Amino acid sequence: MASKADSTQSTESDPAWEYNNLEDDDSITCNFCNVVTRGGIYGARQHQIRSCLYCPKVVKDRLKAFTEKEKSKKGVVVNQRGFGDDDEGGDDVKIPRLEKKRSGVQLSGQEKRLKSNVMDEACDKELIAKTAIARFFYQAGIAFNVVRLDCFKEMIELIGNYGPNFKPPSYHELRGPSLKKEVDDMNQWIEGHKEKWSKYGCSIMLDSWTDREQKTLINILVNSSDGTVFMESVNASSNTMSGSEMCALVEKFVDQIGEANVVQVITNSECNSVRAG
């Protein structure tokens, strides 16, 4: 059975001790999810590699690498020589390393049931978390394709890395400081694009389309070597824009971006758009 002294001495050899806590009853508690295991440090390590929902990926990778390293040490190659045969080579014989069997390491029936319960509990946690996320989508009326956004995946990963007791942003934080910070970050991102516009030039793109309510909209975008920036959406559903109106719209954004920075204007093949070009 492991002891606190053993855990102190084994920290250098097994990195799992850095992420677990040895209790007085020789059970081991995971520092990420507080799950208690009784299979020694090996069992605790396997829990964090396989089933801990809050264990960071960098920690899992480190523990996996250590486990693979330990597996490679299962066999030891020695050179057998006859007594007094210093000049004659012997045969290399692979002698398997014998694992020390101690009563404290072998799992009893009760401990096996506890280990099974831990695995079931981890699966239940994942199911509960996914159900809560799905319910949030249903109640808020959020489109399902939102889960494909990189920022959604990043949000879930950051919450998981934070661990228990994470407090979500409040109503005031979302509509106040968090929104202001996001606007500032977006403006800073656009300024970076504007620097490239003045240095390498850019293209203005007009994309007209009709939504489900049969409204005609024109999206104005600016494309450069750094990517595409959405500028504005114009509602043109009241009447079809004439060539002069389309030309005035283009001139507005040319002036806003800087005539010297605009390399070309890209529109669709409609007559009015061609006239504006």
pLDDT computed for residue 4 by the predictor: 47
Residue 71, pLDDT above cutoff 60: yes
Please state which of the ranges 113-117, 162-166, 174-178 shows the lowest mean pLDDT.
113-117
Taking a C-beta distance cutoff of 8 angstroms, is the pair 45, 14 a contact?
A: yes
pLDDT class of 249 with cuts at 50, 70, 90:
confident
Residues 73-130 have pLDDT tens digits of 765 444 444 434 444 444 444 444 444 444 344 555 555 555 555 555 666 778 888 8
pTM of the model: 0.46
Summarize the confidence of residues 170-175 as an average pLDDT. Answer: 94
Tokens of 132: 């809560």
Report pLDDT for 144: 95
For the cut 70, the answer to whether the pLDDT of residue 39 exceeds it is yes
Predicted confidence at residue 217, as pLDDT, reads: 87
| CATH numbers and ranges of domains, the chain | 1-69+106-164 (no CATH), 201-276 (3.30.420)
Report the chain's C-alpha Rg in angstroms. Answer: 32
Q: Looking at residues 238-243, what average pLDDT do you find? A: 65
Average pLDDT, rounded, for the chain = 79
pLDDT at 139 over 60: yes
Given a cut of 50, whether residue 61 has pLDDT beyond it is yes
